[in-house]
């Protein structure tokens, strides 16, 4: 039987950091392993939305069309299904994060809440440099690669 690939959840922050050259060497190695098929990279539809929005804002100049941008995501990453159970878990995570992040006058985005929920469900680390996501993920016992 074939060995199951280790899964990593890839956040929009990591994709943008890679595109702009602001990624850490550790996170870059992980993304390169996803590209080579040595790791399974997982995103979700809200990350797809955010990354495409960055394309439309002109922040991913490597891509010439939205179709090319979407094709990149679909080539290298699996897309996690969004279900009502994931939404339930994400809402709980978002609600619990208020106490931690309000002190910093910050809040967790819907996208980040879903990302943490998917990582918890998959028992997988998240590749991200997003400080809010990192803080809440740590509290939720989700490992971060950055």
Q: How many CB atoms lie within 10 A of CB 77?
A: 23
Helix axes 84-102, 131-139, angle to 10 degrees: 100
Digit-coded pLDDT (tens) for 90-128: 999 999 998 877 777 788 999 999 999 999 999 999 999
At residue 1 the predicted structure's pLDDT band, cuts being 50, 70 and 90, is: very low
Closest to 43 in 3D by CA, of 67, 3, 15? 15
Domain ranges of the chain: 7-79, 84-123+130-137
Digit-coded pLDDT (tens) for 107-116: 899 999 999 9
């Amino acid at each position: 039987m074939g060995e199951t690939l280790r899964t990593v959840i890839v956040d929009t922050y990591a994709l943008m950091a890679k595109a702009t050259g602001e990624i850490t060497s550790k996170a870059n190695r992980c993304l390169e392993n996803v590209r080579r098929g040595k790791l399974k990279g997982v995103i979700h539809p809200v990350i797809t939305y955010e990354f495409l929005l960055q394309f439309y804002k002109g922040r991913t100049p490597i891509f010439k069309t939205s179709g090319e941008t979407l094709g990149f995501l679909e080539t290298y990453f699996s897309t996690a299904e969004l279900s009502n159970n994931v939404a339930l878990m994400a809402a709980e995570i978002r609600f619990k994060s208020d106490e931690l992040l309000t002190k910093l006058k910050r809040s967790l985005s819907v996208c980040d809440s879903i990302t943490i929920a998917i990582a918890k469900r998959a028992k997988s680390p998240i590749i991200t440099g997003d400080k809010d996501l990192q803080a809440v993920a740590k509290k939720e016992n989700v490992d971060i690669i950055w």
